Amino acid sequence: MNQKKLSLWLKAIMIGVGICGLIVYLGILPNIGSYLKDSYPEFSAWHWPWMIFLWLTAVPCYAVLVLGWKIAVNIGNDHSFSTENAGLLQHIAWLIAGDILFFFLGNAVLFFLGMNHPAIILIALLICAIGIAVSVAAACLSHLVRKAADLQEQSDFTV
């Protein structure tokens, strides 16, 4: 697979993920929230705080997609191992870590305000563990891309 084809695949995957995210954040979550609000009137006061909280968690996710798109463009231009890609991956790692921290703290605040269930906290911890793993993987990939870019730059000057 050449660089252009890989870049196109990455872009297609990112478009697919973005569309799936829109379906989840604008379709599924509001429907679930409305169902819970209608089925359990005692939880109706929780609906809007939770919806706003969940929608705010989407912002860094779409920022990551924008940065991933830039990486895909660089790969298509045959600049896979560049300091720019390493920096973009580092930004992605920090965005994911920040989103996970916001998600964890938001769940804790909603729990202490009496707007969260302990079972949701356990599910949130699982989501946080997965997010931390992805953030660490992005940081490691950033480090490796930076090392490869340095090696490539040294070999370009040698030849």
The C-alpha angle 121, 135, 82, rounded to 5 degrees, equals 165
pLDDT of residue 60: 96
For the segment 76-81, the average pLDDT, to the nearest whole number, is 91
pLDDT of residue 159: 58
The residue whose two tokens read 């919806």 is 51
3-class DSSP state of 153: helix
CB 127 within 8 A of CB 99: no
pLDDT of residue 155: 82
Cα 79 to Cα 145: distance, rounded to the nearest angstrom: 11
Q: What is the DSSP string of 11-54?
A: HHHHHHHHHHHHHIIIIIHHHHHHHHHHH-GGGGGGHHHHHHHH
pLDDT of residue 126: 96
Tell me the per-residue pLDDT of 20-74, one tens digit each, with 9 for 90 and over. 999 999 999 999 999 989 998 888 889 999 999 999 999 999 999 999 999 999 9
Cα 131 to Cα 18: distance, rounded to the nearest angstrom: 17
Please give the mean pLDDT across all residues of the chain. Answer: 93
CB 78 within 8 A of CB 3: yes
pLDDT of residue 154: 86
pLDDT of residue 1: 74
CB 138 within 8 A of CB 92: yes
What pTM does this model have? 0.90
pLDDT at 12 > cutoff 70: yes
Q: Which two tokens stand for residue 63?
A: 């920022």
Tell me the per-residue pLDDT of 147-157, one tens digit each, with 9 for 90 and over. 999 998 888 77
